[in-house]
Amino acid sequence: MDPPILTPNAVEGTSTLFETPYFDLGSAYLTQSGQLYAEAGAMAHRKVYTFGPTFRAEKSKTRRHLTEFWMCEPEMAFADLNDDMDLAEELLEYIVQTILAEKKEELEILERDTSKLHNVKRPFPRISYDEAVEILKKNGVNFEWGGDFGGGDETIISNQFDRPVMVHRYPSQVKAFYMKRDPENPKVALAVDVLAPEGYGEIVGGSQREDDLDELLKRIKEHNLPQKPFEWYLDLRRYGSVPHAGFGIGLERTVSWICGLDHLREAIPFPRMIYRKTP
Protein backbone atom coordinates (compact mmCIF):
# COMPACT_ATOMS: atom_id res chain seq x y z
CA MET A 1 0.00 0.00 0.00
CA ASP A 2 1.11 3.57 -0.67
CA PRO A 3 1.18 5.92 2.35
CA PRO A 4 1.09 9.71 1.88
CA ILE A 5 4.33 11.67 1.73
CA LEU A 6 2.77 14.79 3.27
CA THR A 7 1.51 14.01 6.78
CA PRO A 8 -0.03 15.96 9.68
CA ASN A 9 2.10 14.42 12.42
CA ALA A 10 5.47 13.07 13.50
CA VAL A 11 6.28 9.38 13.69
CA GLU A 12 9.90 9.28 14.85
CA GLY A 13 10.07 12.46 16.92
CA THR A 14 9.40 16.14 16.29
CA SER A 15 13.04 17.25 16.13
CA THR A 16 13.69 15.73 12.67
CA LEU A 17 10.66 16.99 10.72
CA PHE A 18 10.73 18.91 7.45
CA GLU A 19 7.81 21.37 7.75
CA THR A 20 5.84 23.09 5.00
CA PRO A 21 2.69 25.31 4.98
CA TYR A 22 -0.42 23.40 3.86
CA PHE A 23 -3.13 25.79 2.60
CA ASP A 24 -5.57 26.75 5.37
CA LEU A 25 -4.86 23.64 7.45
CA GLY A 26 -1.64 24.77 9.08
CA SER A 27 1.56 22.80 8.72
CA ALA A 28 2.27 19.52 6.98
CA TYR A 29 5.44 17.46 7.21
CA LEU A 30 7.45 15.27 4.88
CA THR A 31 6.94 11.73 6.07
CA GLN A 32 9.43 10.12 8.42
CA SER A 33 7.82 6.72 7.93
CA GLY A 34 4.79 5.09 6.35
CA GLN A 35 4.26 2.97 9.45
CA LEU A 36 1.15 4.54 10.97
CA TYR A 37 -0.70 4.18 7.68
CA ALA A 38 0.59 0.62 7.29
CA GLU A 39 -0.96 -0.14 10.68
CA ALA A 40 -4.32 1.00 9.32
CA GLY A 41 -3.80 -1.20 6.28
CA ALA A 42 -2.88 -4.21 8.40
CA MET A 43 -6.13 -3.88 10.33
CA ALA A 44 -7.95 -4.39 7.02
CA HIS A 45 -5.67 -6.80 5.18
CA ARG A 46 -3.66 -8.46 7.98
CA LYS A 47 -0.31 -8.29 6.16
CA VAL A 48 0.81 -5.24 4.18
CA TYR A 49 3.97 -3.37 3.32
CA THR A 50 4.85 0.13 2.19
CA PHE A 51 7.80 1.23 0.09
CA GLY A 52 8.66 4.85 -0.45
CA PRO A 53 10.84 7.85 0.35
CA THR A 54 11.24 9.04 3.92
CA PHE A 55 12.79 12.22 5.27
CA ARG A 56 14.74 13.04 8.44
CA ALA A 57 16.01 16.53 9.25
CA GLU A 58 18.94 15.18 11.22
CA LYS A 59 22.06 17.36 11.35
CA SER A 60 24.34 14.37 10.96
CA LYS A 61 27.45 14.09 8.78
CA THR A 62 28.15 10.41 9.39
CA ARG A 63 28.56 7.90 6.56
CA ARG A 64 25.36 6.22 7.78
CA HIS A 65 22.91 9.11 7.32
CA LEU A 66 20.96 10.72 4.50
CA THR A 67 18.20 13.30 4.84
CA GLU A 68 16.13 11.52 2.16
CA PHE A 69 16.14 7.75 1.86
CA TRP A 70 13.87 4.82 1.00
CA MET A 71 12.29 2.30 3.32
CA CYS A 72 10.32 -0.89 2.99
CA GLU A 73 7.99 -1.29 5.97
CA PRO A 74 6.05 -4.54 6.53
CA GLU A 75 3.22 -4.49 9.07
CA MET A 76 1.37 -7.54 10.40
CA ALA A 77 -1.85 -7.91 12.38
CA PHE A 78 -2.02 -10.72 14.95
CA ALA A 79 1.77 -10.59 15.44
CA ASP A 80 4.07 -9.99 18.40
CA LEU A 81 7.75 -9.10 18.77
CA ASN A 82 8.92 -12.65 18.13
CA ASP A 83 6.90 -12.82 14.90
CA ASP A 84 8.45 -9.47 13.93
CA MET A 85 11.97 -10.76 14.49
CA ASP A 86 11.21 -13.96 12.58
CA LEU A 87 10.07 -11.97 9.53
CA ALA A 88 13.06 -9.60 9.60
CA GLU A 89 15.42 -12.54 9.86
CA GLU A 90 13.75 -14.37 6.99
CA LEU A 91 13.73 -11.26 4.78
CA LEU A 92 17.42 -10.45 5.30
CA GLU A 93 18.48 -14.02 4.68
CA TYR A 94 16.45 -14.11 1.46
CA ILE A 95 17.84 -10.80 0.19
CA VAL A 96 21.48 -11.65 0.84
CA GLN A 97 21.38 -15.26 -0.35
CA THR A 98 19.49 -14.30 -3.52
CA ILE A 99 22.06 -11.62 -4.35
CA LEU A 100 24.93 -14.05 -3.73
CA ALA A 101 23.30 -16.55 -6.07
CA GLU A 102 22.22 -14.18 -8.84
CA LYS A 103 24.58 -11.18 -8.72
CA LYS A 104 27.98 -12.79 -8.24
CA GLU A 105 29.49 -10.94 -11.21
CA GLU A 106 28.34 -7.54 -9.96
CA LEU A 107 29.80 -8.21 -6.50
CA GLU A 108 33.10 -9.18 -8.11
CA ILE A 109 33.13 -5.90 -10.06
CA LEU A 110 32.68 -4.07 -6.76
CA GLU A 111 35.53 -6.18 -5.31
CA ARG A 112 33.24 -7.18 -2.47
CA ASP A 113 34.59 -9.80 -0.08
CA THR A 114 31.54 -12.05 0.13
CA SER A 115 32.90 -14.49 2.72
CA LYS A 116 30.96 -12.82 5.55
CA LEU A 117 27.79 -12.51 3.47
CA HIS A 118 27.67 -16.30 3.13
CA ASN A 119 27.15 -16.42 6.92
CA VAL A 120 23.89 -14.49 6.67
CA LYS A 121 21.62 -17.44 7.35
CA ARG A 122 19.04 -18.12 10.01
CA PRO A 123 19.02 -18.24 12.95
CA PHE A 124 20.48 -14.84 13.79
CA PRO A 125 21.72 -14.24 17.33
CA ARG A 126 19.14 -12.47 19.50
CA ILE A 127 20.36 -10.53 22.51
CA SER A 128 18.62 -8.15 24.88
CA TYR A 129 19.63 -4.53 25.28
CA ASP A 130 20.99 -5.49 28.71
CA GLU A 131 23.26 -8.11 27.13
CA ALA A 132 24.41 -5.57 24.54
CA VAL A 133 25.33 -3.13 27.31
CA GLU A 134 27.41 -5.86 28.97
CA ILE A 135 29.26 -6.43 25.70
CA LEU A 136 30.13 -2.73 25.55
CA LYS A 137 31.37 -2.70 29.13
CA LYS A 138 33.52 -5.79 28.54
CA ASN A 139 35.07 -3.94 25.62
CA GLY A 140 36.00 -0.93 27.74
CA VAL A 141 33.09 1.36 26.84
CA ASN A 142 31.78 3.46 29.73
CA PHE A 143 28.13 3.08 28.74
CA GLU A 144 25.24 3.98 31.04
CA TRP A 145 22.05 1.91 30.91
CA GLY A 146 19.19 3.86 29.40
CA GLY A 147 21.04 5.54 26.56
CA ASP A 148 20.76 4.79 22.88
CA PHE A 149 23.63 3.17 21.02
CA GLY A 150 25.82 5.30 18.81
CA GLY A 151 27.48 4.13 15.63
CA GLY A 152 30.65 3.10 17.45
CA ASP A 153 28.65 1.15 20.02
CA GLU A 154 26.75 -0.70 17.28
CA THR A 155 30.01 -1.63 15.59
CA ILE A 156 31.47 -3.09 18.79
CA ILE A 157 28.31 -5.11 19.42
CA SER A 158 28.02 -6.44 15.87
CA ASN A 159 31.72 -7.35 15.74
CA GLN A 160 31.04 -10.08 18.29
CA PHE A 161 29.01 -12.04 15.73
CA ASP A 162 29.50 -13.49 12.25
CA ARG A 163 26.06 -12.46 10.96
CA PRO A 164 23.46 -9.77 11.72
CA VAL A 165 22.56 -9.55 15.40
CA MET A 166 19.09 -8.69 16.71
CA VAL A 167 19.07 -6.48 19.78
CA HIS A 168 15.67 -6.35 21.49
CA ARG A 169 13.91 -4.76 24.47
CA TYR A 170 15.40 -1.29 24.49
CA PRO A 171 14.66 1.23 27.25
CA SER A 172 11.27 2.72 26.44
CA GLN A 173 12.66 6.24 27.02
CA VAL A 174 14.79 6.06 23.85
CA LYS A 175 12.12 4.54 21.61
CA ALA A 176 9.09 5.96 19.81
CA PHE A 177 5.70 6.54 21.42
CA TYR A 178 3.92 3.78 19.48
CA MET A 179 6.11 0.93 20.77
CA LYS A 180 4.43 -1.40 23.24
CA ARG A 181 6.06 -1.77 26.63
CA ASP A 182 7.02 -5.18 27.93
CA PRO A 183 4.30 -6.33 30.38
CA GLU A 184 7.00 -8.08 32.43
CA ASN A 185 9.20 -4.97 32.58
CA PRO A 186 7.55 -1.63 31.66
CA LYS A 187 10.94 0.07 31.62
CA VAL A 188 11.67 -1.55 28.26
CA ALA A 189 9.85 -1.51 24.94
CA LEU A 190 9.10 -4.55 22.79
CA ALA A 191 11.45 -3.20 20.14
CA VAL A 192 14.21 -4.69 18.01
CA ASP A 193 17.09 -3.30 15.95
CA VAL A 194 19.02 -5.52 13.56
CA LEU A 195 22.69 -4.55 13.39
CA ALA A 196 24.61 -5.49 10.26
CA PRO A 197 28.12 -6.92 10.48
CA GLU A 198 31.30 -5.08 9.46
CA GLY A 199 30.32 -1.78 11.08
CA TYR A 200 27.32 -0.95 8.89
CA GLY A 201 25.01 -0.36 11.85
CA GLU A 202 21.24 -0.61 12.11
CA ILE A 203 19.54 -1.81 8.94
CA VAL A 204 16.20 -2.85 10.47
CA GLY A 205 14.22 -1.20 13.26
CA GLY A 206 10.89 -2.53 14.46
CA SER A 207 8.58 -3.26 17.34
CA GLN A 208 5.33 -4.63 18.57
CA ARG A 209 2.88 -1.72 18.47
CA GLU A 210 0.88 -0.44 21.43
CA ASP A 211 -2.67 -1.70 20.90
CA ASP A 212 -4.20 -0.34 24.12
CA LEU A 213 -5.90 3.04 23.67
CA ASP A 214 -5.24 4.34 27.20
CA GLU A 215 -1.57 3.37 27.08
CA LEU A 216 -1.14 4.99 23.67
CA LEU A 217 -2.69 8.21 24.95
CA LYS A 218 -0.21 8.18 27.85
CA ARG A 219 2.72 7.74 25.46
CA ILE A 220 1.59 10.62 23.26
CA LYS A 221 1.47 12.89 26.32
CA GLU A 222 4.82 11.64 27.62
CA HIS A 223 6.44 12.50 24.29
CA ASN A 224 4.82 15.97 24.30
CA LEU A 225 3.00 15.28 21.04
CA PRO A 226 -0.26 17.04 20.13
CA GLN A 227 -3.18 14.60 20.30
CA LYS A 228 -5.36 16.09 17.55
CA PRO A 229 -3.26 15.02 14.51
CA PHE A 230 -3.26 11.45 15.88
CA GLU A 231 -7.03 11.12 16.32
CA TRP A 232 -7.38 9.01 13.17
CA TYR A 233 -4.59 6.74 14.46
CA LEU A 234 -6.19 6.51 17.90
CA ASP A 235 -9.44 5.43 16.21
CA LEU A 236 -7.66 2.22 15.20
CA ARG A 237 -7.70 1.38 18.93
CA ARG A 238 -11.01 2.97 19.87
CA TYR A 239 -13.01 0.77 17.56
CA GLY A 240 -11.19 -2.49 18.15
CA SER A 241 -7.57 -3.49 17.72
CA VAL A 242 -5.41 -6.60 17.73
CA PRO A 243 -1.78 -7.29 18.62
CA HIS A 244 0.33 -6.17 15.70
CA ALA A 245 3.96 -5.55 14.80
CA GLY A 246 6.19 -4.36 12.01
CA PHE A 247 9.54 -2.93 11.05
CA GLY A 248 11.34 -0.72 8.57
CA ILE A 249 14.33 -1.76 6.50
CA GLY A 250 16.43 1.00 4.97
CA LEU A 251 17.15 0.39 1.29
CA GLU A 252 20.37 2.41 1.06
CA ARG A 253 21.84 1.03 4.29
CA THR A 254 21.10 -2.52 3.15
CA VAL A 255 22.65 -1.91 -0.29
CA SER A 256 25.63 -0.20 1.32
CA TRP A 257 26.25 -3.19 3.58
CA ILE A 258 25.79 -5.88 0.94
CA CYS A 259 27.97 -4.04 -1.60
CA GLY A 260 30.62 -3.08 0.95
CA LEU A 261 30.34 0.65 0.19
CA ASP A 262 32.26 3.26 2.18
CA HIS A 263 29.44 5.82 2.38
CA LEU A 264 25.66 5.72 2.17
CA ARG A 265 25.70 8.36 -0.56
CA GLU A 266 27.13 5.74 -2.94
CA ALA A 267 23.92 3.70 -2.65
CA ILE A 268 21.56 6.31 -4.15
CA PRO A 269 21.89 8.24 -7.46
CA PHE A 270 21.18 11.71 -6.07
CA PRO A 271 22.07 11.78 -2.37
CA ARG A 272 20.58 14.41 -0.07
CA MET A 273 22.71 15.35 2.92
CA ILE A 274 22.85 18.39 5.18
CA TYR A 275 25.49 19.98 2.93
CA ARG A 276 24.15 18.79 -0.44
CA LYS A 277 20.84 19.30 -2.29
CA THR A 278 22.04 19.31 -5.91
CA PRO A 279 21.85 17.96 -8.55
Q: What is the pLDDT of residue 45?
A: 97
Instruction: Work out the number of other CB atoms within 10 angstroms of the CB of residue 158.
Output: 25
Q: What is the pLDDT of residue 12?
A: 86
Q: Is 173 a domain residue?
A: yes
Confidence of residue 62 (pLDDT cuts 50, 70, 90): confident
pLDDT digits (tens, 9 = 90+) for 211-256: 999 999 999 999 999 999 999 999 999 999 999 999 999 999 999 9
Residues 33, 70: contact at Cβ < 8 Å? no
Q: Is 189 a domain residue?
A: yes
pLDDT digits (tens, 9 = 90+) for 78-125: 999 999 999 999 999 999 999 999 999 999 999 999 999 999 999 999
* Between 257 and 12, the higher pLDDT residue: 257
Query: What total number of domains does the chain contain?
Result: 1
The CATH number of residue 233's host domain is: 3.30.930.10
pTM: 0.95
> Which domain range does residue 36 map to?
6-267
For residue 5, give every residue at least 6 positions away whose Cβ sits within 8 Å of its Cβ, in sequence order, or none. 30, 31, 52, 53
End-to-end CA distance of the chain: 30
